[in-house]
Amino acid sequence: MPRFHGQSNHAPVDIVNQLQKQYVDYLTSLFHEGVLDDQFTQLQKLQDESNPDFTVEVATLFFVDSDKLINNMAAALERSPVDFKQVDADVHQLKGSSSSIGAMRVKNLCITFRSFCETQSYEGCLICLQQVKNECAVLKDKLQNLFRMEQQIVGAGGSVPLMD
């Protein structure tokens, strides 16, 4: 079994390969589960030497944005009477940004959410809000895993495989 020598930044090739394979498997599963769609790959393709952390940065912005929007929605739904147009506007925003980063499940939940706003269904909106919250939390968790795996690969001297 090859040993990993601490003074070198390059782990043995088979460790890098293993990390890369795990990464590809994980990312593939995210696509299969519908958590991410092709737009995420589009963003990954945009990373380059001058913007090596582009995907992480966009994801971070998304979570800051989505937290804010979700809080707004929750507040609007607590008011009496509920301003469904305002909720709809926030959901529309979230739908847009989730679409832009390839967060497919979040985006699809937003589509459903908007239809409840249109019919002014309070219960429907509450359920959707909870689902959106959950889904954003799941997405955050999974993306953090993904980015950590990227760091491990790079730290081991390898490069992050790009999906097609």
- Closest CB to another protein among 30 and 37? 37
Please identify which residue in 14, 25, 57, 141 interacts with another protein, judged by CB under 8 A.
Answer: 57
Q: Cα separations (Å) of 154 from 3, 51, 90, 97, 158? A: 18, 15, 37, 28, 5
Look at residues 75, 107, 102, 78 and name the one whose alpha carbon lies nearest to residue 91: 107
Q: Which amino acid is at 13?
A: V
Tokens standing for residue 114:
């908007």
Q: Is 102 in the site for another protein (CB under 8 A)?
A: yes
Region of residue 15 (phi > 0: left; psi between -120 and 50: alpha; otherwise: beta)? alpha
Q: Is 30 in the site for another protein (CB under 8 A)?
A: no
Instruction: Pick out residues in 116-135 that bind another protein (CB under 8 A).
Output: 118
- Closest approach, Cβ 117 to another protein, in A, equals 9
**Residues lying near another protein in the complex (CB under 8 A):** 38-39, 42-52, 54, 57-58, 61-62, 64-65, 85-86, 88-89, 92-93, 95-97, 99-102, 118, 154, 159-162
